[in-house]
Amino acid sequence: MKTVSESLERLGLSVPPTKPASEVPKCLPVSNPAKCFWQSEKHKLHDHRSTEELPPHSDVVIIGAGYAGVSTAYHLVKEASDSIKSITILEARGACSGATGRNGGHMRPDLYGHIPTYVERGGVQAGAEIAEFEIAHVKAIKRIVEAEKIDCDFTLSRTIDVWCNEESAKKAKAVYDQMLENNFEYMDDVIFYTGKEVEGICGVKGAKACASYTAGSMWPYKFILGLIEVILATGKVNLQTHTPVTSVTSDPNGGVILQTARGKTHASKVVYANNAYISGLLPEYDQNIVPCKGICCRITVPEGSTAPLLNNTYINRTEDNTLSYLVARSDGSIIVGGAAAKFRNHKDQWYNNVDDSILIDSAKDYYNDYMQRTYRGWENSGAKVDNIWTGVMGYSYDSNPHVGEVPGKPNQFVLAGFNGHGMPVIWLSGKAVAKMVSENIPIEQTNVPRLFKTTQERIDRARSGSEEEGDILGTGNAKATKP
Does 414 help bind ligand FAD (rule: CB under 6 A)? no
CA atoms within 13 A on the CB side of 127: 21
Residues 124-153 that bind ligand FAD (CB under 6 A): none
Compare residues 131 and 198 and give the one whose CB is closer to ligand FAD. Answer: 131
**How far apart (Å, rounded) are the C-alpha atoms in residues 432 and 441?**
10
Does 404 help bind ligand FAD (rule: CB under 6 A)? no
Which are the contacts of 53, defined by CB distance < 8 A and separation ≥ 6? 263
What residue type is assigned to position 296 of the chain?
Answer: C
Does 259 help bind ligand FAD (rule: CB under 6 A)? no
Roughly how many angstroms between the first and final C-alpha of the chain, as a whole number? 25
Q: At what angle do helices 426-439 and 67-79 cross, to 10 degrees?
A: 50
Does 39 help bind ligand FAD (rule: CB under 6 A)? no
Residues 267-296 that bind ligand FAD (CB under 6 A): 273-277, 280-281, 294, 296
- Min CB(73)–ligand FAD separation in Å: 11
Compare residues 88 and 208 and give the one whose CB is closer to ligand FAD. Answer: 88
8 A C-beta contact, residue 208 and residue 166: yes
Q: What is the largest CA-CA distance in the chain?
A: 70
Among 184, 164, 183, 233, smallest CA distance to 376 is for 164
- Min CB(4)–ligand FAD separation in Å: 9
Distances (CA, A) of 3 to 14, 25, 99, 148, 359: 12, 9, 20, 40, 20
Does 176 help bind ligand FAD (rule: CB under 6 A)? no
3-state secondary structure of 297: strand
Does 413 help bind ligand FAD (rule: CB under 6 A)? no
Which are the contacts of 313, defined by CB distance < 8 A and separation ≥ 6? 106, 108, 157, 158, 159, 160, 215, 217, 325, 326, 327, 328
**How far apart (Å, rounded) are the C-alpha atoms in residues 388 and 401?**
27
Does 222 help bind ligand FAD (rule: CB under 6 A)? no
**How far apart (Å, rounded) are the C-alpha atoms in residues 327 and 330?**
10
Candidates 176, 184, 219, 325; binder of ligand FAD (CB under 6 A) is 325
Candidates 24, 76, 80, 92; binder of ligand FAD (CB under 6 A) is 92
Compare residues 176 and 325 and give the one whose CB is closer to ligand FAD. Answer: 325
Question: Measured on CA atoms in the order 267, 270, 272, 273, is the torsion positive or negative?
Answer: negative
Which are the contacts of 48, defined by CB distance < 8 A and separation ≥ 6? 95, 228, 232, 239, 241
Does 102 help bind ligand FAD (rule: CB under 6 A)? yes
Candidates 4, 13, 54, 67; binder of ligand FAD (CB under 6 A) is 67
Q: Which stretch binds ligand FAD (CB under 6 A): 52-60, 183-191, 249-257, 416-424?
A: 416-424
Does 228 help bind ligand FAD (rule: CB under 6 A)? no
Compare residues 208 and 344 and give the one whose CB is closer to ligand FAD. Answer: 344
Does 89 help bind ligand FAD (rule: CB under 6 A)? no
Which are the contacts of 305, defined by CB distance < 8 A and separation ≥ 6? 380, 381, 382
Does 203 help bind ligand FAD (rule: CB under 6 A)? no
- Min CB(426)–ligand FAD separation in Å: 6
Compare residues 194 and 387 and give the one whose CB is closer to ligand FAD. Answer: 387
- Identify each DSSP E strand in 102-188 by its residue range: 106-107, 155-163
Q: Which stretch binds ligand FAD (CB under 6 A): 45-53, 133-141, 413-421, 431-439?
A: 413-421
Does 28 help bind ligand FAD (rule: CB under 6 A)? yes
- Min CB(39)–ligand FAD separation in Å: 11
Distance of CA 68 to the CA centre of its chain: 8
Compare residues 49 and 173 and give the one whose CB is closer to ligand FAD. Answer: 49
Compare residues 132 and 199 and give the one whose CB is closer to ligand FAD. Answer: 132
Q: Which stretch binds ligand FAD (CB under 6 A): 72-80, 167-175, 386-394, 444-452?
A: 386-394
Candidates 60, 65, 256, 385; binder of ligand FAD (CB under 6 A) is 65
Compare residues 99 and 472 and give the one whose CB is closer to ligand FAD. Answer: 99
8 A C-beta contact, residue 98 and residue 28: no
- Identify each DSSP E strand in 64-184 by its residue range: 87-90, 106-107, 155-163
Does 91 help bind ligand FAD (rule: CB under 6 A)? yes
Does 109 help bind ligand FAD (rule: CB under 6 A)? no
Give the footprint of ligand FAD on this chain (CB under 6 A): 25, 28-29, 63-69, 90-93, 97-100, 102-106, 244-245, 273-277, 280-281, 294, 296, 325, 337, 391-393, 416, 418, 420-424, 426, 483
